[in-house]
Copies of this chain bind each other. A is one copy, B any other.
């Protein structure tokens, strides 16, 4: 993305339809709308009459991402607009952007070009306050934990074994490792602590997997904040503050309705990390969309090895979702990087490199079929792509027996996504998700689940438990937590746990360093490699280019 990126200009030039009109289009009565301005609303789900029952669900995922950017959100938005153009009552369900990365590198996360959700500047900034509510819920809980210790520690919490970290929606590396409670007996118990970014909070994962407010409170109550001196888990319920924390989230759990540039109703709600959490928008939003729309298009984070696997094994299982088709976003640029081209050389035509890199895409397609689903490759066109490169890749897909089509939604909006949409409709007509099944059965234990994911999805030969993992595994077993689904935190750049191994590696070892129970979220995080849960800012943060114009509108978001 460059400074002359036209996303903000396109978004601000668009004439938005009133949110009441968008709601009407979605089948949401005005009585269920809680407006935020004229172009955003939260939805009171209890006031929405049941729709015709579950419509079709299309999951958008991608090949292994590269620093070049693949345009997955753009493709998702444009594809939804394409279904609408084809006459289908459509909704799109997306994650909310995180402000920290926006001020750092990304500059925005609402699609791009003529395939965006709008009002883009509101969605990219504070939107309806969900992330702020999650931040204060997370941090109020942290303060209550330290206060419990300060005020006598009746639960005998071990200050060295508190697992509940504080969070901010800021990229702030200086807060990764801190010592708190300094300054004397009136200022708490000194201990090591750290801050994560808001999207890494277990509260975020909980909000995105809870079926309703009562389920949210139950999950908040289940959260393990730390261990006693005798190593027994201490929960939020033990602290008796599950009610207060739930109260802080009672509005945030309501899905947010906005629109795409093509006028498609869009639910933009929740946004957990796709490594240490499951990386999809909220279950309540996806369910609302599928209950109302003929076609719902939704997205999972990172590549299919992380985001789609978790969507299918965690979110779909939790929420009883059944996807009908999967769209795999690929770009010539990413294919060339997986084929060995350096990032600085991507503008030059290199058909051979793209074909070499296709092994990565092939693995993702093969993996999707392991879930009983049929992938459609959306080849997302970039200005530097040559016809020879695009033709070669579409030809390659045909040879492999894979459905593929060019996506030109960035430049053309919905009409640029019709070719992909038509392929998806053919998959659905052929019985789509009839054979869908999750990959593993958590009841067989976390070692079995991890082995299945590692060998079948990552192409690994084996799983090794290193560092803190063996002891953590025993602790999971002792507490009866080893039959929860597993959420792997792994680099998004490679199928392996080594970010530099592009393409389609096989026979490697997956190193599990630690296993962290997230009992409220309902999964165990398996940490592989080193995963950053608090990003930093770059040398030239995007913030340097941001501001407001004379009309008070945002400048420098893209």
Contacts and interface: CB of A to CB of B under 8 A. Distances in A.
B136 A547 contact: no
A556 interface: yes
Contacts of A175: 143, 166, 180
Given A132-B132, A182-B177, A248-B125, A241 B144 contact: no
A249 to B, nearest CB: 9
A179 B147 CA distance: 19
A186 interface: yes
A181 B174 contact: yes
A536 interface: yes
Given A99-B136, A213-B548, A243-B547, A179 B181 contact: no
A34 interface: yes
Contacts of A151: 537-539
Contact of A171 (B143, B187, B248): B143
A76 interface: no
Interface string A514-546: 000000000000000000000011110101101
Contact of A140 (B152, B170, B183, B244): B170
A523 B182 CA distance: 30
A544 B243 CA distance: 8
B181 A187 contact: no
A230 interface: no
A101 to B, nearest CB: 12
A132 B136 contact: yes
B147 A247 contact: no
A547 to B, nearest CB: 3
A174 B146 contact: yes
B37 A537 contact: no
Interface string A131-156: 01101100110111011001110000
B241 A544 contact: yes
A181 B187 CA distance: 20
Given A132-B136, A143-B170, A556-B243, A152 B539 contact: yes
A177 B170 contact: no
Nearest to A36: B36
A189 interface: yes
A180 B547 CA distance: 29
Nearest to A251: B126
Interface residues of A, number: 72
B250 A170 contact: no
A172 B142 contact: yes
A539 B407 CA distance: 59
Q: How many copies does the complex hold?
A: 2
A399 B147 CA distance: 50
A247 B103 CA distance: 11
A173 B150 contact: yes
A228 to B, nearest CB: 19
Given A132-B135, A243-B556, A543 B103 contact: no
Interface in A183-201: 183, 186-189
A366 interface: no
A144 B537 contact: yes
A139 B170 contact: yes
B139 A546 contact: no
A373 to B, nearest CB: 36
Given A213-B552, A250-B554, A554-B250, A544 B244 contact: yes
A545 to B, nearest CB: 8
A554 B129 CA distance: 18
A370 B426 CA distance: 83
A190 to B, nearest CB: 9
B172 A177 contact: no
A240 B543 CA distance: 9
A180 B169 contact: no
A555 interface: yes
A235 interface: no
Contacts of A170: 136, 139-140, 142-143
A178 B180 contact: yes
A246 interface: yes
A172 B144 CA distance: 8
Contacts of A183: 176-177
List the 5 closest pairs (A to B, CB-CB), nearest first.
A243-B547, A132-B132, A174-B188, A177-B183, A244-B543
Given A136-B169, A178-B180, 13 more contacts: A103-B244, A143-B170, A143-B172, A143-B174, A144-B541, A147-B541, A166-B175, A176-B183, A186-B536, A243-B555, A243-B556, A244-B544, A244-B546
10 contacts: A125-B251, A135-B135, A144-B541, A146-B173, A150-B536, A175-B180, A176-B187, A177-B187, A240-B544, A250-B552
